[in-house]
C-alpha cells in the first residue's frame, strides 16, 4: 500500500515521503553587482530573465551581504560559516604559488601608505569543516563546477569534500578569454568546441552531474567564472547590446555591451540549470541559492582590466544607487543580489529586507536539513531559517573586515558594522594624527552613503565603534597599524585626493583584485 501511495504522488512529493532529503544547487556569480539584475534594478541595461525566474520561485533578500568585498574571502565564508577575519583569508591571493596558512601583517610599506596592512592567508586550510564535507557526510553526492579560488591541490575541492571538480582550476578564470580556446594548463586536458564559452561548458558539466545523480541527493556548486574579467563575450551578444547601448541617453552608467553580453551568458546558463531540474522533475525537491561573491566593478574598462575591442573607457558597470563597488567597504562592495528557493519553506515570489550575510548559509542549511555538524564546529554566521519561513529575524550586528588597500578601486583598509539601519565604517590611520577615521550612515534614509553623521551622532558612533573592537578581538583579526615609514608629503591623502588615486590605478593593476 505504501508503494502504491508513493506512485500516486508527484515525484517531488514522493521523494519527500520516501525520506529523501532535498538537493542543493548553490549558484555563485563572480563580481555581479547588486544593480546588475532585473529584480534589484528593473530598468537595468542587462537582461536576466532566468535569474528573474528564480526570484519568482523563491524569497529575494534585498539586504544580503558578502563577508568581504573581494571573492576568495567570501567563498571561504560560504564554505565554513566563518568570518574571513577569523580565517585570515582576507584577499583573493589563493591562486599564487606561496602557501601561507597563518595570519600576519606586512612588515613594511611604501612612504605613501598610511598603514601596514594584513598579509592574507593564501589557502583554505583543510582543517576547516566545509559545506562539501558536511553534505558528503550526510550521504549527498557533491560536485563543484567553476571557480574555486581557495587554493590548488592539496586545498582544492577534491580535498574539501567534493567528489567532482571541474575544471579543477585554482585561478580566477581562464586567462585571456572566456571564449575557447581557453588557456588552461595542458595537464588538465580540457578540450573545447570552436568558440565555446566557458560558462556554457561549466554548466554542461554541472548538468551531466545532476542528471547522473538524479536518483540520490546531491549538492552542486555552480560557481560561475562570470562576470569577472577578462572582459569578452560571444560576438553576437556583444553586437546585440552595442545596438541597445546606442539608444541610451549619453552618459548612462550601465552601457558596456561586452559586460552586458557576459551577464546574459551567465543568465542563460542559470536557465539551463533550472530547465534541467524541471525536466528531471526535481524542482520541488531542490533548494537553489543565487548569490554573488562581491560587488560589481565600478571603474572604467581599460584602466586596470583587459577588455575586448570597443569598450575601453566605458564603465564596466554601476552599482547605483549604492556607493562604490568591488574592493570597497561601501554598500556597492558587499551588498549582493540574493534569492533562496526552498520549496515548502520559502514563499515563492516574495522579498524581505532581513539582513543576512554569506557566513549564514552554512548554519541555515545545518539547521533546516539537520546536517551532521560536529559539536566542536562553531559558526560566525547565524541561521536565517525564521526569515525563510516568513517570520521576523534579527541577526544582530553584521561585520565586514577588509584590512587591505586597493588603489584601483579606491578601497581602503577598513572595517564596518551594520546594526539596524545604522552602518559605521572605521578607516584605519586616516584621521588626525594617524587616528582612525569614522563614517556613520543611516542606510534607510541615505542608501547611497552621502551624509556622514559621525560628528552629529557621537553616541551612536561610539556604540558601533565599540562593537567593531569587540568583533576584532573575538575573531583575532589582523588589524592595520600605522606605517612607521609613512610620509604625508610623499603622496596624497587617500580620502582627500581622488585624482591621484585614479592616476595610480591607471598605471598599475592591483593583484588583489584578481
Considering only 218-227, 269-278, 308-317, which range has the smallest mean pLDDT?
Answer: 308-317
Closest CA to 124 of 156, 98, 146: 156
Q: What percentage of the chain has pLDDT greater than the value 70?
A: 92
pLDDT in tens, 74-128: 999 999 999 999 999 999 999 999 999 999 999 999 999 999 999 999 999 999 9
What is the bridge-based pairing of β-strands 115-116 and 481-482?
antiparallel
Section 28-42 average pLDDT: 91
pLDDT reported for residue 404:
97
Secondary-structure percent of the chain, ordered helix, strand, coil, rounded to 5: 30, 20, 50
C-alpha cell at 312: 575601453
pLDDT-derived band at 514 (thresholds 50, 70, 90) equals low
Section 377-397 average pLDDT: 97
pLDDT in tens, 44-73: 899 999 999 999 999 999 999 999 999 999
β-partners of residue 438 are 426
pLDDT in tens, 127-159: 999 999 999 999 999 999 999 999 999 999 999
Look up cell 562593537; give the residue. Answer: 467
C-alpha cell at 32: 555581479
- Indicate the average pLDDT of the chain: 91
Backbone angles phi, psi at 7, to 5 degrees: -70, -25
The string of DSSP letters for 59-73 reads EEEEEEE-SSSSHHH
Q: What distance in Å separates the CA atoms of residue 260 and residue 237, rounded to the nearest whole number?
A: 8
Q: Which long-range contacts (CB under 8 A, 24 or more apart) does 248-256 make?
A: 248/45, 252/45, 253/315, 253/317, 253/318, 253/320, 254/35, 254/36, 254/44, 254/45, 254/46, 254/315, 254/317, 254/318, 255/45, 255/314, 255/315, 256/231, 256/301, 256/311, 256/314, 256/315, 256/316, 256/317
Maximal C-alpha separation, the chain: 85
pLDDT in tens, 465-505: 999 999 999 999 999 999 999 988 886 555 644 433 443 44
C-alpha cell at 257: 555591451
Closest CA to 316 of 245, 231, 239: 231
Domains with residue ranges and CATH for the chain = 2-96+130-395 (3.40.720.10)
Q: Are 407 and 505 in contact (CB under 8 A)?
A: yes
Using omega within 30 degrees of 0 as the cis cutoff, is the peptide bond preceding 167 cis?
yes
pLDDT reported for residue 308:
77
- H/E segment holding residue 279: helix 257-279
Look up cell 599564487; give the residue. Answer: 96
pLDDT reported for residue 169:
95
Count how many residues are written for the chain: 514
Q: What distance in Å separates the CA atoms of residue 327 and residue 298, rounded to the nearest whole number?
A: 10
Q: What distance in Å separates the CA atoms of residue 195 and residue 174, rounded to the nearest whole number?
A: 14
Considering only 258-272, 302-316, 394-408, 454-468, which range has the smallest mean pLDDT?
Answer: 302-316
pLDDT-derived band at 513 (thresholds 50, 70, 90) equals low
Q: Would you call 166 helix, strand, or coil by DSSP?
A: strand
Section 201-211 average pLDDT: 98
Q: Are 82 and 359 in contact (CB under 8 A)?
A: yes
pLDDT reported for residue 160:
98
Assessment of whether the complete model's pTM goes beyond 0.95: no
Amino acid at each position: 500500500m505504501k508503494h502504491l501511495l508513493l506512485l500516486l504522488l508527484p515525484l517531488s512529493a514522493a521523494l519527500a515521503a520516501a525520506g529523501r532529503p532535498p538537493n542543493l544547487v548553490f549558484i555563485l556569480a563572480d563580481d555581479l553587482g547588486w544593480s546588475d539584475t532585473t529584480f534589484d534594478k528593473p530598468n537595468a541595461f542587462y537582461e536576466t530573465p532566468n535569474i528573474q525566474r528564480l526570484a519568482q520561485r523563491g524569497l529575494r533578500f534585498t539586504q544580503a551581504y558578502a563577508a568581504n568585498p573581494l571573492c576568495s574571502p567570501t567563498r571561504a565564508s560560504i564554505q565554513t560559516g566563518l568570518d574571513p577575519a577569523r580565517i585570515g583569508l582576507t584577499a583573493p591571493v589563493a591562486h599564487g604559488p606561496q602557501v601561507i596558512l597563518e595570519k600576519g601583517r606586512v612588515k613594511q610599506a611604501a612612504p605613501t601608505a598610511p598603514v601596514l596592512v594584513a598579509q592574507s592567508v593564501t589557502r583554505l586550510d583543510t582543517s576547516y569543516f566545509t559545506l562539501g564535507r558536511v553534505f558528503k557526510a550526510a550521504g549527498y553526492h557533491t560536485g563543484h563546477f567553476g571557480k574555486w579560488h581557495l587554493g590548488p591541490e592539496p586545498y582544492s575541492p577534491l580535498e574539501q569534500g567534493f567528489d567532482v571538480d571541474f575544471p579543477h582550476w585554482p585561478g580566477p578564470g581562464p586567462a585571456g578569454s572566456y571564449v575557447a580556446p581557453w588557456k588552461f594548463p595542458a595537464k588538465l586536458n580540457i578540450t573545447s568546441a570552436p568558440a565555446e564559452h566557458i560558462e556554457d561548458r561549466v554548466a554542461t558539466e554541472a548538468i551531466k552531474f545532476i542528471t547522473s545523480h538524479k536518483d540520490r541527493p546531491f549538492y552542486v556548486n555552480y560557481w560561475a567564472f562570470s562576470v569577472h574579467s577578462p572582459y569578452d563575450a560571444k560576438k553576437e551578444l556583444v553586437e546585440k547590446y552595442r545596438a541597445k547601448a546606442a539608444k541610451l541617453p549619453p552618459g548612462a552608467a550601465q552601457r558596456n555591451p561586452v559586460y552586458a553580453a557576459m551577464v546574459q551568458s551567465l543568465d542563460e546558463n542559470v536557465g539551463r540549470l533550472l530547465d534541467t531540474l524541471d525536466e528531471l522533475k526535481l524542482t520541488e525537491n531542490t533548494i537553489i541559492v543565487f548569490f554573488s561573491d562581491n560587488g560589481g566593478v565600478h571603474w572604467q574598462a581599460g584602466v586596470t582590466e583587459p577588455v575586448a575591442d570597443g569598450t575601453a573607457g566605458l564603465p564596466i558597470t554601476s552599482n547605483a544607487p549604492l556607493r562604490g563597488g568591488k574592493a570597497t567597504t561601501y554598500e556597492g562592495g558587499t551588498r549582493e543580489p540574493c534569492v533562496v528557493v526552498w520549496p515548502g519553506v520559502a514563499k515563492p515570489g516574495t522579498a524581505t529586507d532581513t539582513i543576512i550575510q554569506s557566513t549564514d548559509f552554512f548554519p541555515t542549511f545545518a539547521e533546516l536539513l539537520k546536517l551532521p555538524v560536529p559539536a566542536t564546529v562553531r559558526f560566525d554566521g547565524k541561521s536565517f531559517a525564521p526569515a525563510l519561513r516568513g517570520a521576523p529575524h534579527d541577526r544582530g550586528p553584521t561585520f565586514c573586515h577588509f584590512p587591505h588597500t586597493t588603489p584601483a578601486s579606491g578601497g581602503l583598509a577598513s572595517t564596518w558594522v551594520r546594526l539596524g539601519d545604522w552602518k559605521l565604517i572605521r578607516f584605519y590611520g586616516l584621521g588626525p594624527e594617524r587616528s582612525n577615521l569614522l563614517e556613520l550612515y543611516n542606510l534607510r534614509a541615505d542608501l547611497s552613503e552621502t551624509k556622514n553623521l559621525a560628528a552629529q551622532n557621537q553616541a551612536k558612533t561610539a556604540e558601533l565603534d565599540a562593537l567593531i573592537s569587540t568583533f576584532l578581538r573575538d575573531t583575532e583579526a589582523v588589524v592595520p597599524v600605522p606605517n612607521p615609514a609613512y610620509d604625508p608629503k610623499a603622496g596624497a591623502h587617500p580620502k582627500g585626493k581622488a585624482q591621484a588615486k585614479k592616476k595610480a590605478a591607471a598605471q598599475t593593476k592591483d593583484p588583489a583584485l584578481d
